[in-house]
Amino acid sequence: MKERITFSKYGWCIYVYKVLILSFFLFSHSIVSARVYYVATNGSDTWPGSKEKPWATWDRAFNAAYRAGDTTYIRGGIYYTTITSGKGGIQGTADKPVCFFAYPGETPILDGSNCTTTETGLIFKNGTHIKLKGLTVRHFHQIEYLDEHCYGIYFYRCGHITVEQCTTHDIGYRGFYFYTPDSLFVYNCDSYNVVDSLSITPGNAGDGYIMTGGGDTTDYAIFRGCRAWHVSDDGWDVHTNGYVEIDNCWAFNCGGYEDYEYGNGMKLNLAIPLERDMLSRQVTRCISVYNRGNGITTNDARGAAIPMNIFNNTSAFNGLFGNEGKGFSVYNTVGSDEEERTRVFKNNISYGNVGPAIFVAGQAEYSHSNNTWDSNVTVDQSDFVSLDTSALRAARKPDGSLPDLNGFMELKQNSDLVDAGEDLGLAFSGNAPDIGALEYNESPSISITAPSDGSIFAEPASVLISTYVSDTDGYIRKVVIYNNDELLVELTSEPWSFDWTYPPFGNHTLRARAYDNFFGISTSAEIFVTVKSSSVKLYPNPNDGVFTFVLDDPLQKTSEISTISLDGKLVYQGTMLEKEVSKQMDLSFIRHGFYNFILYKEDGHIWKKFIKY
């Protein structure tokens, strides 16, 4: 029999009071539990880690900022260390991840040049919901023979990980290492100059990105916008059981150390044979060029065939140091022919490799169509805008995305590879997808329609900058407007116009740049405007449509005047006569809103903004 709880009048009040106090405590604790910390080269680990008194080392932050929602900002500069930094057991949540970010606009670098023992740059073990952004790890090397545990950034049995705009370079074993990852997202990262010269098999483990450990078949990892180059082994080396997607990534000069024997752009093998139908690998829109061995290889000869989609990739010029580099390789597995045919290759370019366009091992099966080796197309140098590789290593764009390739492996308009692919669900322009990683794209067009070139504005001014933008084979993704080569505004939707209020006194050069959905870019002609100190007046303002416009000096020549709404619509057109110094206007018929009154003088236009109430 349950005992019934009763309260006296005062007992009930005390009970409610205690509950409220406890609830307040728990609520307050939930608010303060997420903390923000800072690290700077001029800090001290004895300080509280505030913006004003930051810590000095990354390791101090990793060992203190581990609660759900904690965020650490690391200021720019070089942080020399002699130890492995990191933390085990960090437990973020989906809505409150634990974050370690570069301070906006700055580049923090963890440098292991002074290490006297083999160390790893960053290591995280058995954690969840961790985010890294903007961090660089460099110069961690093998110190003695067989010192193999030397990584740039290493996640061991971690889940729900996001690594964005991070770089590892000059590393002595592996750039990025993910052991049994679960829900991994790697965006816009770079890994280069990775070589394991002191391993038992030198050069055989210098990978840009490697995933090992098997893992659950429901695990997944996505790499997007990443690069790997000049590594002693593979750009990507995949040994995990779950789904792995590599999209819009570049691998080049992998196996780029002549003293060693290895190196593929992307190697997709499985850790252990598994019998299942789920898609396991998807490689799309990737570039794999100038690697020692294969551009892209299934590397699954020792296991069962796994379903994979290899769509719209470009593999070219593979075969460094006299090796018979192949564009693509497909191996014979222990699986049935039907299972092997779940490996699907479509819309791929293979060109200029030392070895064959595709190597298919004896009795191996795979599904394929619309590739350069199995279609009624020819591929040669004339198909491409440029074969100059210099842009592959170029600095990334300010938003962290890949640099423009300046025509490298981009198709010319008259190439028979244009519109020769199959629709596989990837975005394309034209009548059908192209073959290869880089879709041919007509660049957008853009012009500045307002203000007119040579316009003169009187302080305080408001300048409506309007553009006309079009794209014949896609859509406009954004428009960026610059003033004197400095970013003025970025527009991501129509109308492609900007009301520039209170521009500074002086001369201004305006230009606009349009970006389409296939990364085509066009820049407008420059427009020159001047903002002058002036006593030109328009009053009253705001007004009911009736106002007076007054010049500094009498007009030297009869000139046109107009009134334009902020969306560019002409609502009035007239003239102001020679020798007039003022003009009485009655525009009471126009709708309420913001307008520009413009006087079109030969030596420059005068704009005055007013409000009709």
Residue 16 sits at φ, ψ, to 5 deg, of -60, -40
CATH label, 445-531, candidates 3.40.50.150, 3.90.1150.10, 2.170.150.20, 2.60.40.10 = 2.60.40.10
C-alpha distances (whole Å) from 438 to each of 259, 370, 400 are 33, 15, 19
Is the pLDDT confidence value at 403 over 50? yes
- pLDDT band for position 17 (50/70/90)? very low
- pLDDT tens-digit series, residues 358-371: 999 999 999 999 99
123-132, 297-306, 393-402, 580-589: range with lowest mean pLDDT: 297-306
- C-alpha span between 313 and 296 (Å, rounded): 9
Task: Region of 206 please: left (phi>0), alpha (psi -120 to 50) or beta.
Answer: beta
Contacts of 607 (CB under 8 A, 6+ apart): 451, 455, 457, 458, 461, 462, 463, 596, 597, 598
- The overall average pLDDT reported for the chain is 90
Mean pLDDT value across residues 388-408: 94
Would you say 311 and 283 are in contact if contact means Cβ atoms under 8 Å apart?
A: yes
pLDDT above 50 for 22: no
C-alpha distances (whole Å) from 303 to each of 216, 237, 273, 274, 306 are 17, 16, 5, 8, 9
Q: pLDDT for 439-456, tens place per residue?
A: 998 889 999 999 999 998
**Domain definitions of the chain by residue range:** 30-383, 445-531, 535-612
Contact (CB, 8 A) for 532 and 459: yes
HSE toward the beta carbon, residue 92, CA cutoff 13 A: 27
Query: What is the model's pLDDT at position 241?
Result: 83
Question: Is pLDDT above 90 for 270?
Answer: no
Side-chain-side CA neighbours of residue 588 (13 Å): 4
Cis peptide before 542 (omega within 30 of 0): yes
Share of the chain above pLDDT 90, in %: 71
Beta strand 506-516 with 527-532 is antiparallel
Residue 496: count of CB within 10 angstroms of its CB: 20
Which residue in this structure is represented by tokens 């020679």?
A: 578
Confidence of residue 275 (pLDDT cuts 50, 70, 90): low
Measured CA to CA in angstroms, residue 484 lies from 20, 257, 467 at distances of: 60, 45, 17
- CB proximity list for 226: less than 8 A, separation 6 or greater: 186, 187, 188, 189, 190, 191, 209, 246, 249, 250
The reply to whether 535-612 shares the fold of 445-531 is yes
* pLDDT (tens digit per residue) in 203-232: 989 999 999 987 677 788 999 999 999 999
Cis peptide before 108 (omega within 30 of 0): no
Whether the pLDDT of residue 316 is over 50: the answer is yes
Class of domain 30-383: mainly beta
Return the pLDDT at 168.
98
pLDDT at 27: 42
Whether pTM exceeds 0.85? no
- CATH architecture classification, 535-612: Sandwich (2.60)
User: Is the pLDDT assigned to residue 6 strictly greater than 60?
Assistant: no
* DSSP string computed for 115-175: -SS---SEEEES-EEEEEES-EEEEE---STT----EEEEEES-EEEEEES-EEEEESSEE
Range from 64-68, 303-307, 433-437 carrying the lowest mean pLDDT: 303-307
Confidence tier at 7 by pLDDT (50, 70, 90):
very low
Task: Read off the pLDDT of each residue in 92-108 and give the average, rounded to a whole number.
Answer: 97
pLDDT confidence bin for 21, thresholds 50/70/90? very low
Contact between 395 and 404 (Cβ < 8 Å): no
Out of 12-16, 321-325, 465-469, 568-572, which region has the weakest mean confidence (pLDDT)? 12-16
Kindly tell me if the per-residue pLDDT of 133 is higher than 90: yes
Please state, in angstroms and rounded to a whole number, the distance separating the CA atoms of residues 237 and 252. Answer: 14
Q: H-helix or E-strand containing 324?
A: none
**Cβ neighbours of residue 278 under 8 Å, at least 6 residues apart?**
217, 243, 307
Structure tokens at 200: 């038992």
Cα end-to-end distance, the chain, whole Å: 76
